[in-house]
Amino acid sequence: MSTGELFIVCSPSGAGKTTLCRRLLGRFADMRFSVSHTTRPRRPQEVDGQDYHFVDVATFEAMAGRGEFAEWAFVHGNRYGTSNAEIRRAAEEGRAILFDVDYQGAAQIRARYPSAVAIFILPPSLDELRRRLQQRGTETAESLELRYRNALREIEAYPQFDYLVVNDDVERAVETLVGIVLAERARRTRRAAAAERLLGEATISRSGSSPRAG
């Protein structure tokens, strides 16, 4: 079970991050999604409070002014932010939390929580990235070009991440993400307490045994 791990997943728009995050959450019952706040318009298939907390600019800026965000950034002409309340809620529940943020948000979270695991999703090619953006049917020509231009800048930030996953096949990418979570949970620094507990039990067992009569 989770001990409050933080997993960050980041990618350029159109690389399939949302789909992969949903699939990953389906594989771990003890992992919850960090629902970000955003000022961008809600897409037809999105649910307020589930995909994002959709708020207006004034509300967002008021929250930022009160220090309610662990991270926030201005991306593609809109504001996105992760509230401190989301992180506190996951910690209180003893669950892992999954962040779907941009590279600026990832850097801010890592600065505050150095143990957070950062994963970057790469598209198989820029041509495929453009095709996926066009396939959405939700972008204007102007917003599509903005997201495409920003993609290269986002990919340039890859050195700040612990893992890179190429999403050329959804099933393979999901299995890679699952493997990363399992590997991180097996790290010595995360499981040292279990080893020390066993050593403690052995010490108690030895101290409680009586010498054999000769």
Q: Give the model's confidence band at 1: pLDDT under 50 very low, under 70 low, under 90 confident, else very high.
A: very low
107 vs 2, residue with greater confidence: 107
Domain around 38: 6-189
How far apart CA 6 and CA 119 sit, in angstroms, is 11
HSE (side-chain half, CA atoms, 13 Å) at 70: 21
Are 24 and 5 within 8 A, CB to CB?
A: no
Residue 55 per-residue DSSP state: -
Share of the chain above pLDDT 70, in %: 93
| Tokens representing residue 78 in the block | 């809109």
Q: Give the model's confidence band at 90: pLDDT under 50 very low, under 70 low, under 90 confident, else very high.
A: confident
| Domain-located, residue 74 | yes
pLDDT of residue 144 exceeding 60: yes
| Domain-located, residue 158 | yes
Which pLDDT tens digit goes with each residue over 153-172?
899 999 999 999 999 999 99
Among 72-81, 118-127, 195-204, top mean pLDDT goes to 118-127
| Domain-located, residue 30 | yes
| Domain-located, residue 196 | no
Q: What is the pLDDT of residue 113?
A: 87
DSSP string, 57-78: HHHHHHHHHTT-EEEEEEETTE
Which pLDDT tens digit goes with each residue over 117-141?
999 999 999 888 888 877 766 667 7
| Domain-located, residue 211 | no
DSSP string, 171-194: HHHHHHHHHHHHHHHT-HHHHHHH
| pLDDT averaged over every residue in the chain | 88
Domain at 31, CATH number: 3.40.50.300
| Domain-located, residue 212 | no
| Domain-located, residue 88 | yes
Total domains in the chain come to 1
Q: Give the model's confidence band at 184: pLDDT under 50 very low, under 70 low, under 90 confident, else very high.
A: very high
Residue with tokens 């910690």: 91
What global pTM score does this model have? 0.79
Which pLDDT tens digit goes with each residue over 19-65?
999 999 999 999 999 999 999 999 888 999 988 999 999 999 999 99
| Domain-located, residue 108 | yes
Q: Give the model's confidence band at 15: pLDDT under 50 very low, under 70 low, under 90 confident, else very high.
A: confident
Helices (H) and strands (E) in the chain, counts: 8, 9
